[in-house]
Amino acid sequence: MPWARRMLVEERRWLSDEEFSEALSLCQVLPGPNIVNMAVCVGTRFRGARGAIAAFMGLMCAPFAIILVLGALFTHYGDLPAISAAFRGISAAAAGLVVAMGLKMASSRRMRSPMALFAVAAFAGVALLRMPLGWFLLIAAPISVAAAAWRSR
Amino acid sequence: MSGALAQLAIDFSLLSLITVGGVITVLPEMHRNVVEVHGWMSGAEFAQLFALAQASPGPNILVVSLIGWKVAGLAGAVVATGAVCAPSSILTYIVSSIWQRFRGNRWRELIEDGLVPLTVGLMLAGGYLITLAADHSALAFVITAAAAGTVLATRIHPLWLLAAGGMLGLAGWV
């Protein structure tokens, strides 16, 4: 996302800083991967449906091809002791990146005390109780948004 | 085979509509489906595919392509990737066509206020589950903790941390 911002705002100047933040906050509210939503949103804005498809393809095609090549290499050579040993280390570090991302977001201003309880509930429900995410969100999202609305009266 | 394709299409299009934020928030659900419900792969394999997606350029959501590919080859990769993107993209297309009406909308702010805490909890759940899936030795946990700490404390590019993890693994320490 930082790269997307640099490209859209600083290099191509397709969006102003403010337009970028506004589009981003819309894409964060909508379901789906944010970066994909962002591509669709910006594409739609400039060239309608065809723009959305072009932006989506531009975002996904090359990385899709690259990842399949890596995946193929990994299946062929993944069983070699050296590769699987390296991957044990890589996946341990990759897990750390995920943990860090969660901790970073936890310092958001939207986590001020009572609302943070919803983060605790989400962790407990999904990580510990292993609730299906769809059901959890169906119940928790309306309650959480209602709580936010009630607090902002 | 086509049964697996259909299952991928169903699972991932549902996932598309319950993704709040990025792929990390649906990591636990993906893990639940792929490892626990369908038994398509072990937890360790799941963690490795996710690591591969993080090391590769492009959106992390492409881990879905790897899962599809592992389950049903190239067709699986295309179906899973299309399924995880299509429903949410169509919704985004519709909403952004009329987005002017949503400008400065008070509801959008409130929805975000409500969703961010859930997103944080889900991301931490994703971190917790992927750590359990990836780490099978004490040193692996140390690497996970060190990588997390380094990301929080410095501005180093994450690829260096993955490379360092790979070196430690190669050295036979993990």
More confident: B5 or A111: B5
Distance of alpha carbon B131 from alpha carbon B172, whole angstroms:
19
Q: Which residue of B has its CA nearest to A67?
A: B56
Q: What percent of chain B has pLDDT over 90?
A: 74
Sign of the CA dihedral A123, B35, B161, B81?
negative
pLDDT score of B43? 94
B117: its two tokens: 């805490």
What contacts A143, CB < 8 A, 6 or more positions away? A118
Nearest-angstrom CA–CA distance, B134 and B42? 10
pLDDT greater than 60 at residue B7 = yes
Report pLDDT for B101: 64
B38–chain A nearest CA distance, Å: 14
For residues B162-166, average pLDDT: 96
* Cα A131 versus chain centre, distance: 21
**Whether A27 and B65 lie within 8 Å, measured CB to CB:** no
What ipTM does this complex have? 0.88
Helix locations, A1-132, DSSP H: 2-5, 17-29, 34-77, 81-105, 113-123
Question: Are residues A42 and A23 in contact, defined by beta-carbon separation less than 8 angstroms?
Answer: yes
Q: In angstroms, what separates the C-alpha of B2 from chain A's closest C-alpha? A: 20
Give the Å distances, CA to CA, from B158 to A63, B8, B149, B151: 18, 30, 12, 7
Contact between chains at B28 and A122 (C-beta distance less than 8 A): no
Task: Name the pTM for this structure.
Answer: 0.88
Q: What six digits make up the tokens of B154?
A: 């410095």
Q: State the Cα angle at B70 between B67 and B71, rounded to 5°.
A: 85
Sign of CA dihedral A37, A42, A47, A51: negative
> Of A31, A26, A24, A96, which is closest to residue B118 (Cα–Cα)?
A31
Domain residue limits, chain B:
2-134
pLDDT at A17: 82
Angle between helices A81-105 and A34-77 (to 10 degrees): 160
Contact B5, B95 (CB under 8 A): no
CA distance A10 to chain B (A): 20
pLDDT score of B103:
62
- Mean pLDDT is lowest, of A126-130, B3-7, B112-116, B119-123, for B112-116
Q: Each residue of A78-133: pLDDT tens digit?
A: 889 999 999 999 999 999 999 998 998 888 888 887 899 999 999 999 999 999 99
pLDDT value of residue B30:
95
Instruction: Scan for tokens 């069983």, then name that residue.
Output: A79
What digits encode the pLDDT tens for the residues A57-77? Answer: 999 999 999 999 999 998 889
Phi, psi angles (nearest 5°) of residue A112: -60, 150
pLDDT, tens digit (0-9, with 9 covering 90-100), for B95-113: 888 866 666 667 778 888 8
Q: Which residue has better confidence, B134 or A3?
A: B134
Is B73 part of the contact surface with chain A (CB cutoff 8 Å)?
A: no
Handedness of CA A50, A52, A58, A60 (dihedral sign): negative
Q: In chain A, where are the structural domains located?
A: 1-78, 109-153
Give the Cα separation of A30 and A111 in Å (integer). 20
Residue B20 has pLDDT above 90, yes or no: no
The predicted-structure confidence for A7-65, as pLDDT tens digits, reads as follows 888 888 888 888 888 788 788 888 999 899 999 999 998 889 999 999 999 999 999 99
pLDDT at B125 over 90: yes
Determine the average pLDDT of the residues in B14-41: 92
Chain centroid, CA B154 distance in Å: 23
Condensed to tens digits (0 to 9), the pLDDT of residues B35-78 reads 999 999 999 999 999 999 998 988 889 999 999 999 999 999 99
CA distances from B38 to A13, A59, A75, B35 (A): 46, 30, 20, 6
